Structures are given as structure tokens and as C-alpha cells.
């Protein structure tokens, strides 16, 4: 039993040393049919041997089912490979037991005319009973016999040739077998074999307990990562900030991400256990830092972009929409939108998908076109499949000589250019209003009415107390269509507003 504990402990340590549990283990090898006929007579073996030749039958071992990958794996039932088996292969071999080729009744003769006989598999007891030496195995390739349990469970180099390179001294074999099977080392190895085989059959090994614990831990981390991923997805979907000025749990200003983790820990047992480990310093791997947040955002973005590209390729033809604007850091950014027909579902529809912001250093027509061309190549979209292009009215975009639309038409004449209708309409209306004095005065009065109430909190409160509908809005200086909200408040409530102004 002591040797068994040592053996099983070694197996457990080797399991935990595996860095990737999901790899295919080379020890899961050929599963052969282990049904063995125990048809052997109980006659004692004559020391001088019987020279009568017996014609051996054709081996039946080739009829066993062989795994498709067997040529890549060692034969665990071959005694020549027992010294190089990994722990998993040993478990399989111990549970199945050694394999005998019963078609071999006698082996080849040596120089003294002696040879192996299948009668050696049976032991005659003093009381006349017979028992099978299930530990004895004959290797026809080596023409030697081995002790299975001593070869597998022997500590270091075992005593005698049966536990090492094999025994082939046929003239002294009978005496050697009797000495070996009553030896203390052989008895211990037999007990280790039987005990481990019983545990494997009942699935009660220490290794199995460790494997169950490892699977439980893996399942815990999968659930933790799933919840973290859903938090990232929620914040990104609603365009909410992730981090605050603090990056520790249960401290002020730690941001929306850690705040949601704290909220889930109130009722979710998985996050509750995860937070407990972190607060008790039981783990230093928590997946709550800004690095994993950014990585998950990028993975989600890549997955979404891959799905969009897949739909665009199914539609084949598409149009590009570009617009440039500087960000808060004064870096010029160009937004890329692809317009295509979505045929992936039963309801075919036209879709415009945003694919990201592209950093631009050269805002000339050539610089913007080069950025567009490179991005389409990176997205694996063929520029020859572009059937439309739409930009604002900037000369670098719509220019008929050096603009982006002209450079794209030079490569693909089928990429029909259309100016942005909303932008053109907004510019037209703005120019019309600027050329009309009455219109300028009208919107100026609306802006001054808003300013009268907005500049004083007291006047704004009086306005709110007496007007139940729309409140005045400031006139937008950039978007014409947004001015309608300013006009509505005055149009439908002009009498009430005049009363409050008096």
C-alpha cells in the first residue's frame, strides 16, 4: 500500500505539471480486445523439454480493433515499450491488464534446444490446484518473458531479469519462476497492481479526485470570464465609461466596471466567490484590470467586424461613406461606413455598418484615398466591388480632378459618386437664410428669447412653473435641422411666453 501511495502521488504531480489540460494525451492509445482464453493444461514442464514441434496458429492479435491514429502511438501492450509509458498509458494498461498472444504455444528453440512454452502461464500448487500466472507475459519479438507487475511498478531497477530486460534462460526457467513468484518484492508489486486496478475500475483514484478538482476550478474561471465579458458588452453597448480614478474594489470612484462587479457580488455566487478570493488575497489573477478590459473590448470589436465583413462578402457589392472630423486631441479622424444589401436573413434589407475611425495625417485627396485603399485591403474587401461612394462637399473629397471620388473612379469606373444629401441640404438652407434679412432677424429673436430665460435661474424657474409644454431651445449654429426644436417652443406657446416676459 505504501508503494501504491507513492505511485499514485507521482501520477497526481505529473497531472498538475501539464500546462494545457485540453491537449490530446499520447497515452490514450490503441484499445484492444482483452478477452483472453484461459485454455492451458496443467502439466508440469519437463526440464529437458519436449522436442515435438507444434505448428503455431496464425496470430489473432491483428483482428483487434485499432485506433485510426495507432501508427502514431506506441503499443502499450508490447513489453518493449513498458519503460517509456506516461502515467495515463500506465493507467490504461493496469486497468486492462497484460495481453497474451495465445496462438503462440511454443517459441523458437535456442542453441540448447530449449524454448518457451505456453504451459508456463499455469502454476501447479502443492494441493493439486492450478492457477493462472496473469503477471507473466511472453514477447515473441524478444523471445523473452517478463513479470508485468514488477516491470511496471518496480522501484528503480528491479531484482532479476523478469523485472528488467526479460528472462530467456529456458533451462533454469522453472526454478526461477518459483523463486520470483514467492519473493517479497513481487508480492508487493502484485498487491499494488490489483489495488490500483480496482480503484481505476471504481473511479476512486487520487488522480481522479485531483482531476475533478481541476475541472471544477476550470468551470469556475469559465463562469467568471463569462460574467466579466457580459459586463464589458453591456458597458460598450450603452457607450458608458469603464474606469474611474480608482481601480480597487469597494472604494470610491472606481468606475462603472468595478461597480457592476460589486453589484453582481451581492447576489451572484460565482462573482461573490471570485471577489472573496481577491479581497482575501487568495489569488492575484482576477481579470478585473484595465488590460483585460481593453483586450475584451478588442476581441468583441474584432468578432463584430468579422461578422459584418462576412455579410458584405455575401452581398459582394457595396458602397463606401467617408467623413472627417478632428477629435478632442486634435487628431484628424476619418469614419468609414459600408452600405450593402444584407442577404444573410430571410428579410433582405439595406444596411449601413460603421467599421471604425481611421487616423489621417494627410488630408489631401491622395492621402485620404490611400488610407481608404489600405483599409479595404486589410478588411479583405475588393475595391473593384465598390458600386457607390458618398462624401461631404469638401474639395479634397468631391474634387473632380484630385479628390477622393476621382481617384477611386480612376481605379473603378463603376463606383458612382453621390454627394451627401443631408450635408448639401444643410449648406443650402444656411446660405438661403444668410441671404434673407427677415430670416436672420427671426432666428435672432428666437435666440434672444432663449437667452433671456437661460441667463437667470429665477426667470427659468418662473418659465417652468407657468409653461407645461416645450421649453425654449438654443439655436444650433452648425446643424440647420436641429433648429426646429427652437421654433416649436415659440410657435405653439408664444402667448404664454410673452406673458412671462412681461
Question: In angstroms, rounded to a whole number, what is the distance separating the alpha carbons of residues 72 and 26?
Answer: 9
Q: Where are the domains of the chain?
A: 2-204, 221-288, 302-419, 434-501
Question: 302-419: which CATH topology?
Answer: Nucleotidyltransferase; domain 5 (3.30.420)
DSSP state of 43: P
Phi and psi at 464, nearest 5°, equal -65, -35
Question: In angstroms, rounded to a whole number, what is the distance separating the alpha carbons of residues 392 and 396?
Answer: 9
pLDDT mean for each 10 residues of the chain (502 residues): 45 42 36 36 38 40 42 67 75 80 82 83 79 83 84 71 80 82 82 81 66 84 94 92 90 92 93 91 87 92 92 93 84 90 88 91 89 92 92 83 88 88 78 80 82 83 78 68 70 74 68
Beta bridge partners of 325: 333
Global pTM exceeds 0.85? no
Res 63: pLDDT: 43
Helix (H) or strand (E) holding 145: strand 144-147
Res 388: pLDDT: 92
Cβ atoms 220, 270 nearer than 8 A: yes
Question: In angstroms, rounded to a whole number, what is the distance separating the alpha carbons of residues 398 and 406?
Answer: 7
Q: What burial letters (b/e) apply to 39-50, b meaning 16+ CB within 10 Å?
A: ebeeeebeeebe
Q: CA dihedral in degrees (235, 240, 241, 244; nearest 10)?
A: -90
- The length of the chain is 502
Phi and psi at 335, nearest 5°, equal -85, 140
Res 479: pLDDT: 60
Q: How far is CA 462 from CA 328, 486, 500, in A?
A: 37, 19, 7
Phi and psi at 387, nearest 5°, equal -115, 0
The three-class DSSP label of residue 32 is coil
Beta-carbon contacts of residue 223 (< 8 Å; ≥ 6 apart) = 270
Question: In angstroms, rounded to a whole number, what is the distance separating the alpha carbons of residues 189 and 232?
Answer: 56
Res 256: pLDDT: 93
Question: In angstroms, rounded to a whole number, what is the distance separating the alpha carbons of residues 367 and 299?
Answer: 29
Amino acid at each position: 500500500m505504501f508503494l501504491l501511495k507513492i505511485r499514485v502521488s507521482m501520477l497526481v504531480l505529473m497531472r498538475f505539471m501539464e500546462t494545457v489540460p485540453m491537449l490530446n494525451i499520447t497515452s490514450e492509445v490503441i484499445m484492444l480486445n482483452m478477452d483472453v482464453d484461459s485454455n492451458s493444461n496443467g502439466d508440469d514442464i519437463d526440464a529437458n523439454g519436449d522436442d515435438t514441434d507444434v505448428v503455431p496458429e496464425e496470430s489473432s492479435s491483428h483482428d483487434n480493433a485499432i485506433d485510426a491514429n495507432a501508427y502514431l502511438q506506441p503499443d502499450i501492450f508490447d513489453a518493449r515499450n513498458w519503460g517509456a509509458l506516461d502515467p495515463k498509458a500506465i493507467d490504461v494498461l493496469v486497468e486492462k491488464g497484460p495481453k497474451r498472444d495465445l496462438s503462440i504455444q511454443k517459441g523458437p528453440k535456442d542453441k540448447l534446444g530449449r524454448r518457451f512454452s505456453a504451459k508456463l502461464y499455469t502454476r501447479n500448487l502443492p494441493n493439486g490446484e492450478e492457477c493462472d500466472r496473469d503477471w507473466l507475459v511472453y514477447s515473441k519479438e524478444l523471445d523473452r518473458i517478463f513479470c508485468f507487475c514488477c516491470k511496471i511498478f518496480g522501484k528503480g531497477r528491479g531484482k532479476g531479469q523478469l523485472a528488467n530486460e526479460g528472462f530467456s534462460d529456458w533451462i533454469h526457467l522453472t526454478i526461477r519462476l518459483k523463486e520470483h513468484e514467492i519473493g517479497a518484492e513481487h508480492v508487493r508489486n502484485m498487491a499494488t497492481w490489483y489495488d490500483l486496478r480496482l480503484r481505476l475500475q471504481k473511479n476512486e483514484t487520487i488522480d481522479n479526485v485531483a482531476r475533478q478538482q481541476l475541472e471544477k476550478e476550470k468551470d469556475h474561471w469559465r463562469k467568471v470570464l463569462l460574467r466579466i465579458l457580459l459586463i464589458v458588452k453591456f458597458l460598450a453597448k450603452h457607450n458608458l465609461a469603464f474606469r474611474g480614478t480608482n481601480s480597487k474594489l469597494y472604494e470610491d470612484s472606481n468606475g462603472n466596471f468595478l461597480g457592476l462587479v460589486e453589484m453582481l457580488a451581492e447576489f451572484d455566487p460565482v462573482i461573490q466567490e471570485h471577489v472573496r478570493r481577491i479581497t482575501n488575497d487568495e489569488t492575484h489573477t482576477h481579470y478585473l484590470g484595465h488590460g483585460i478590459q481593453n483586450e475584451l473590448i478588442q476581441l468583441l470589436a474584432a468578432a463584430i467586424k468579422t461578422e459584418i465583413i462576412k455579410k458584405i462578402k455575401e452581398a459582394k457589392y457595396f458602397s463606401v461613406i467617408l467623413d472627417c472630423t478632428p477629435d478632442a486631441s486634435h487628431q484628424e479622424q476619418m469614419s468609414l461606413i459600408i452600405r450593402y444589401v444584407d442577404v444573410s436573413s430571410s428579410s433582405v434589407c439595406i444596411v449601413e455598418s460603421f467599421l471604425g475611425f481611421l487616423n489621417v495625417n494627410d488630408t489631401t485627396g491622395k492621402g485620404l484615398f490611400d488610407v481608404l485603399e489600405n483599409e479595404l485591403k486589410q478588411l479583405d474587401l475588393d475595391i473593384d466591388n465598390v458600386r457607390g461612394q458618398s462624401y461631404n462637399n469638401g474639395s479634397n473629397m468631391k474634387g473632380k480632378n484630385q479628390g477622393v471620388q476621382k481617384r477611386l473612379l480612376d481605379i473603378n469606373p463603376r463606383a458612382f459618386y453621390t454627394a451627401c444629401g443631408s450635408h448639401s441640404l444643410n449648406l443650402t438652407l444656411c446660405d438661403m437664410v444668410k441671404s434673407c434679412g427677415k430670416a436672420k432677424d427671426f432666428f435672432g429673436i428666437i435666440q434672444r428669447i432663449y437667452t433671456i430665460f437661460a441667463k437667470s435661474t429665477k426667470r427659468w424657474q418662473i418659465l417652468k412653473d407657468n409653461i407645461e409644454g416645450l421649453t425654449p431651445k438654443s439655436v444650433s449654429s452648425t446643424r440647420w435641422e436641429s433648429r426646429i426644436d427652437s421654433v416649436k417652443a415659440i410657435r405653439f406657446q408664444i402667448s404664454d411666453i410673452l406673458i412671462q416676459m412681461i
